[in-house]
Amino acid sequence: MIARLYNVILLILPWLTLFKTDKQTFKRYLPVLTFSSLAIALLSELARSFKWWRVRKPLVPRLTSDISFIFGGFFIANFWVFRLTYGKFIPYMLLNAVFDYMFAYPLTTLGEKLRVYKMGTLSRFNLFLMCMGMAVANYLYQMFIDDALKPKKLSTKGLLNQQK
């Protein structure tokens, strides 16, 4: 019962921080948030096979992914990290290191005490490193998205070729 309530709170509570957020800002980072959530869902599938961790009481029982974490706390924390630091790689990585450390150590301990999930063969340090690697992949993906969505400037040569 407590684990289920914890999962519902973890899913809903972080979204309350977005009420005063600019819609365009949210849309700007939505592709990287989706990419990151998909990657975490895939890692959760790998975690099942390699017994890295096990979600004991998932919000959706038939899924190995913890939906409340992926689309709750993780999704929104990822948004705020990008919102506050994107464009400044060092602060981005430092803030990610703080969040990832908190997740890998005190929050994982709390999750185990509440019997929400249990760590398996993956050490907390390796969980931290996995999260930091994901942070780098997210940053690179957002750079790719920004570049792809940036309006391309036509050179004079390009304009002459278009007029022919």
Domain boundaries, the chain: 2-16+23-149
Tokens for 112, please give them. Answer: 């185990």
Phi, psi of 61 (to 5 degrees): -55, -30
Query: For residue 117, what are the β-bridge partners?
Result: 55
| pLDDT score at 155 | 58
Per residue in 1-12, pLDDT tens? 677 787 888 889
Per residue in 39-69, pLDDT tens? 999 998 899 899 999 988 777 877 767 888 8
Say if strands 53-55 and 117-119 run parallel, antiparallel, or are unpaired: antiparallel
Assess whether pLDDT exceeds 60 at residue 160: no
Q: What is the largest CA-CA distance in the chain?
A: 71
- Alpha-carbon span 37 to 54, nearest angstrom: 18
